[in-house]
């Protein structure tokens, strides 16, 4: 199991917190490590590679009820 820190940048960071706080599915387990005004650091446990983990987290949030209306950026920290 790999552990990555993925950084979210978003003007409405509380929606990122609401979605990813203690998030778990078949591919990832995520928790919020640090949250600031427009930045959140997620600790993600997964068997995916770093590139696939970023894509998966981004796609998962984009398909949520919050992600389709927000502009955000996801990167590896």
Q: What distances in angstroms separate CA 1 from CA 15, 23, 38, 42, one per listed residue?
A: 27, 16, 29, 16
Q: What is the pLDDT of residues 7-24, one digit of tens each?
A: 999 999 999 999 999 999
Domains detected in the chain: 2-76 (3.30.70)
Q: Counting Cβ atoms within 10 Å, is residue 40 exposed (0-12), middle (13-18) or buried (19+)? A: buried
- pTM summary value: 0.91
The pLDDT value given to residue 42: 96
What is the distance, to the nearest Å, from the Cα of residue 56 to the centroid of all Cα atoms in its chain? 9
- DSSP H/E element including 37: none
The pLDDT value given to residue 52: 97
Average pLDDT of the segment spanning 25-54: 96
Output the CA angle 31-49-57, nearest 5 degrees: 40
The pLDDT value given to residue 6: 97
């Amino acid at each position: 199991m790999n552990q990555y820190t993925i950084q979210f940048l978003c003007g409405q960071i509380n929606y990122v917190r609401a979605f990813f706080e203690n998030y778990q599915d078949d591919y990832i387990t995520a928790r919020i490590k640090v949250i600031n005004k427009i930045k959140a650091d997620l600790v993600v446990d997964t068997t995916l590679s770093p590139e696939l983990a970023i894509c998966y987290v981004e796609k998962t949030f984009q398909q949520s009820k919050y992600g389709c209306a927000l502009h955000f950026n996801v990167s590896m920290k």
